[in-house]
Chains A and B, each alone.
Chain A
């Protein structure tokens, strides 16, 4: 799904901003601790994008950015929307729930009666 998500960001964000967040992230990968990630999340311009990306990974949905943020960053108007049917199904929230995307990846007759993951751990 990575290329789908990147295409989505390309279409929604000014190129300079996308470069900034990608570079900021690249700079953290070889550093210990969470300080650099926290810095991205706390950044008034990059933070909302980072949180949107996390939500996109988990839910397959892009969340409309605040108008105030958009005007400051010269970004086009966006809207809350499902990135694609595939993105919905790939949402990590279903994995976190120990379940499956509603309407897809059926678990089979009676699977819902079994102990869910994490019960005995």
Chain B
């Protein structure tokens, strides 16, 4: 359907971006009786399960099975790709000094199409980093203010966890609360590791740490609590059905959270769109927002110009304008900043695009002394959270450990590379099979995700030299990793080595033979780091318009009918992945919008 909305406001709210933040807003606002138009830059993700399943074949057939392999981009909405980090010639213009290692997906559903599903709350102390540790920035709100929205977000995206596991480092839950679903069972690998290392005492800086292998909250369907109905696969039909009645209501262990859950047992933003009041919702895919039109006098937004393309393989497009009473940018931390800059909306603080963060992370991989059942189950089911808090945070970064269930897939390209290496060594027949049997099932992988503070020098800019096929600017990225994070990285390395040693895991971490990752040097030691896809900080939130882009409600200081939502609003990210927190913030903003627009 082609909509010409240039004649005036036919919607209450225009939302740019059909990722998790935009979809949650669309669901919440349409259910409250408001009319919402969602502009999605990328292709539509099929509303039918049959259409979705075709993306699975793209993954099966792809030589490189990275996060993007199931979700090829459109010409009109290019996206960063993991392979570009090495070649340096992708969608991002990498200005260094270090390459930014993360990617995202521009399609209906956004990066939730291929996220792992980790749904950690931030620690209460993460909201007050400056006050508590003298580093980074404080948030303009505290954990207690966000707590009710964390609960709502856990319900909306369907999080499986047990409060009994998640009450640590000051995290508190409302009395009587537990997650909508029981925790996802921990893997045999987790349980084996826990038997070997739980209770192990070590130190990070001067802080004593007692190690525990801990289940983490995951947006994957599990056994429901208290009458909660798990939301399965999106499967819209002409009879009005939006969601499959039975499919995808339990994780079945496909070991493919990234890049595609074959049965949609893991949350993706399409589920929230499917649950919106569809009579009040219009989702326009292949519509790339290109400029925010602002009244020079009042600063109010008057429309969003967008470029609509019919063919994902072509740059041919037509230009339209969407109008509403309120505008929400939910396009992604980088895309939100890029759109503001492309519209000349630099703000008085000069902070648009600045303070770009990630979790620069290192891998440790090894062989367990006995088979642990690698390559089974969700790609991870447990982590180590003990180094997320401690007095050392005044000196160096905290970190969180993700423990893999998928062998050395991410670090060496296993199991394929394990096979080719053995075959090239001359193994065949029974000898080859025996070799693989004794190796593959014992593969263990840790990813150690290191905190990064907001720095104005890490930023997204635009440059008229660098445009995409639709004539929109490509993000120009300036990125470095400071000593605070590097010292945390060094501590993380010592930590995993100690845990491996305790568990009898033979450390096989050898970046020279593993997958290529960019390097950084600290105190003479070289680290190979990867991005976690955890973009944050590009439209930072604060209580002072001279130092932030949005206020505590994610509302632009200069343009009062414009909201910028997502992890771009984060003043700090701590050690949790941003999805649950940005979902909670989006729901809080939805409350403000609902009150404002209906009042």
| CB-based contact A89/B60 at 8 Å | yes
Contact with B along A83-121 (1 / 0, CB 8 A): 011001100111011111011101111111111111100
| CB-based contact A107/B428 at 8 Å | no
| CB-based contact A104/B60 at 8 Å | yes
| CB-based contact B375/A94 at 8 Å | yes
Q: In the complex, what residues of A have CB within 8 A of residue B62's CB?
A: 82
- Closest Cβ–Cβ distance, residue A107 to chain B (whole Å): 5
- Closest Cβ–Cβ distance, residue B207 to chain A (whole Å): 32
Q: Does B419 contact A (CB under 8 A)?
A: yes
| CB-based contact A100/B188 at 8 Å | no
Q: Does B568 contact A (CB under 8 A)?
A: no
| CB-based contact B440/A108 at 8 Å | no
A115 to B187, CA, bound (A): 9
B-binding segment of A9-17, A18-26, A51-59, A70-78: A51-59
Q: Does B117 contact A (CB under 8 A)?
A: no
Q: In the complex, what residues of B have CB within 8 A of residue A37's CB?
A: 428-429
| CB-based contact A88/B185 at 8 Å | no
Task: Report if A112-B60 is in contact (Cβ < 8 Å); known contacts: A100-B255, A103-B260, A106-B263.
Answer: no
Q: Does B239 contact A (CB under 8 A)?
A: no
| CB-based contact B63/A113 at 8 Å | no
Nearest to A108 among chain B residues (CB) is B252
Nearest to A98 among chain B residues (CB) is B441
Contact with B along A19-37 (1 / 0, CB 8 A): 0000000000000001001
- Closest Cβ–Cβ distance, residue B187 to chain A (whole Å): 5
- Closest Cβ–Cβ distance, residue A20 to chain B (whole Å): 18
Main SS of the interface on chain B?
Answer: loop
Q: Does B191 contact A (CB under 8 A)?
A: yes
Q: In the complex, what residues of B have CB within 8 A of residue A99's CB?
A: 255, 373-376, 440-441
Q: Does A41 contact B (CB under 8 A)?
A: yes
Q: Does B214 contact A (CB under 8 A)?
A: no
Task: Report if A82-B429 is in contact (Cβ < 8 Å); known contacts: A59-B416, A61-B416, A103-B260.
Answer: no
A103 to B264, CA, bound (A): 11
A117 to B376, CA, bound (A): 12
| CB-based contact A41/B188 at 8 Å | no
A114 to B249, CA, bound (A): 21
A111 to B373, CA, bound (A): 10
| CB-based contact A116/B373 at 8 Å | yes
Q: In the complex, what residues of B have CB within 8 A of residue A117's CB?
A: 371, 441
Q: Does B473 contact A (CB under 8 A)?
A: no
Contact with A along B54-66 (1 / 0, CB 8 A): 0011011111010
Q: Does B486 contact A (CB under 8 A)?
A: no
| CB-based contact A100/B376 at 8 Å | yes
| CB-based contact B56/A103 at 8 Å | yes
Chain B 415-457 interface residues, beta-carbon cutoff 8 Å to A: 415-416, 418-420, 423-424, 426, 428-429, 432-433, 436-438, 440-441
| CB-based contact A116/B256 at 8 Å | no
Q: In the complex, what residues of B have CB within 8 A of residue A84's CB?
A: 61
| CB-based contact B424/A51 at 8 Å | yes
Partner of A96, one of B185, B429, B437: B437
Partner of A63, one of B191, B252, B420: B420
| CB-based contact B406/A102 at 8 Å | yes
Q: Does B197 contact A (CB under 8 A)?
A: no
| CB-based contact A103/B376 at 8 Å | no
Nearest to A62 among chain B residues (CB) is B63
- Closest Cβ–Cβ distance, residue A84 to chain B (whole Å): 7
| CB-based contact B426/A111 at 8 Å | no
Task: Report if A118-B252 is in contact (Cβ < 8 Å); known contacts: A59-B420, A93-B416.
Answer: no
Q: In the complex, what residues of B have CB within 8 A of residue A115's CB?
A: 188, 373
Nearest to A115 among chain B residues (CB) is B188
| CB-based contact B256/A103 at 8 Å | yes
| CB-based contact B187/A82 at 8 Å | no
- Closest Cβ–Cβ distance, residue A109 to chain B (whole Å): 5
A116 to B370, CA, bound (A): 10
- Closest Cβ–Cβ distance, residue A22 to chain B (whole Å): 17
- Closest Cβ–Cβ distance, residue B196 to chain A (whole Å): 15
| CB-based contact B428/A54 at 8 Å | yes
| CB-based contact A112/B254 at 8 Å | no
Chain B 23-79 interface residues, beta-carbon cutoff 8 Å to A: 56-57, 59-63, 65
A103 to B222, CA, bound (A): 18
Q: In the complex, what residues of A have CB within 8 A of residue B191's CB?
A: 113
| CB-based contact B254/A104 at 8 Å | yes
Q: Does B354 contact A (CB under 8 A)?
A: no
A45 to B428, CA, bound (A): 18
Q: Does B158 contact A (CB under 8 A)?
A: no
| CB-based contact A59/B419 at 8 Å | yes
Task: Report if A94-B415 is in contact (Cβ < 8 Å); known contacts: A99-B376, A100-B376, A102-B406.
Answer: yes
A118 to B441, CA, bound (A): 9
Q: In the complex, what residues of B have CB within 8 A of residue A114's CB?
A: 188, 373
- Closest Cβ–Cβ distance, residue A90 to chain B (whole Å): 11
Q: Does B250 contact A (CB under 8 A)?
A: yes
Q: In the complex, what residues of A have CB within 8 A of residue B440's CB?
A: 93, 96-99
Q: Does B372 contact A (CB under 8 A)?
A: yes
A109 to B62, CA, bound (A): 27
- Closest Cβ–Cβ distance, residue A49 to chain B (whole Å): 12
| CB-based contact A109/B441 at 8 Å | no
| CB-based contact B252/A116 at 8 Å | no
Besides A54-B423, A97-B440, 5 more A-B contacts (Cβ < 8 Å) are: A54-B432, A59-B415, A93-B436, A99-B440, A116-B371
- 27 chain-A/chain-B pairs, Cβ below 8 angstroms: A37-B429, A54-B423, A54-B428, A54-B432, A55-B423, A59-B419, A82-B63, A88-B60, A88-B61, A89-B60, A94-B415, A97-B437, A99-B441, A100-B255, A100-B375, A102-B406, A103-B56, A103-B255, A106-B263, A109-B222, A109-B250, A109-B253, A110-B253, A112-B187, A112-B376, A115-B188, A119-B371
For the complex of A and B, 3 pairs with smallest distance between CB atoms: A112-B377, A116-B373, A85-B60
